[in-house]
Amino acid sequence: DAKTTQPTSMDCAEGRAANLPCNHSTISGNEYVYWYRQIHSQGPQYIIHGLKNNETNEMASLIITEDRKSSTLILPHATLRDTAVYYCIVRVAIKAAGNKLTFGGGTRVLVKP
C-alpha cells in the first residue's frame, strides 16, 4: 500500500471548516483513499473513502486531486467533538488484499472554542 504524509497536528476554530491535507504521491491506480479518526480513548472510526471522484457524506467531504497524489478531508463545521487524531490511509480495496489498514501517525486535530 502507498505511504501517506500528513501534518502532525493542526488547530481549527469551532464552527469553521477544517481542511485536513494528505499527500500520497506514490498511489497506484487501484488504491483508494480512506479516512478514519480516533477520538481519545475510543477505537478508530471510519469517516469516508474515495477512488478519484470527490465524495461527501454526513460526516465530511473528501476532495482528491486530479492526479490523485493528494487529498483533503473537509469537516464543514468543526465542533469540539471533532477533536481527534485523523488518519489518511491508502489501500487496495479488493478481496485478495484482505482489507488491511496500515495506519501512520495521523494528524492530531484540536478544535478550539
Partner 1 sequence: EAGVVQSPRYKIIEKKQPVAFWCNPISGHNTLYWYRQNLGQGPELLIRYENEEAVDDSQLPKDRFSAERLKGVDSTLKIQPAELGDSAVYLCASSAGTGWYEQYFGPGTRLTVT
Query: Does residue 7 belong to the site contacting partner 1 (CB under 8 A)?
Result: no
Positions in 73-92 near partner 1 (CB under 8 A): 87
Query: Does residue 40 belong to the site contacting partner 1 (CB under 8 A)?
Result: no
With 0-12 / 13-18 / 19 or more C-beta atoms within 10 angstroms meaning exposed / middle / buried, residue 19 is middle
CA distance to 1, 4, 30, 57, 69, per residue, from 102 (Å): 8, 10, 16, 23, 18
Q: Which one, 74 or 92, has the nearer CB to partner 1? A: 92
Query: Does residue 30 belong to the site contacting partner 1 (CB under 8 A)?
Result: no
| Binding footprint of partner 1 on the chain (CB under 8 A) | 32, 34, 41-46, 49, 87, 93-95, 97-106
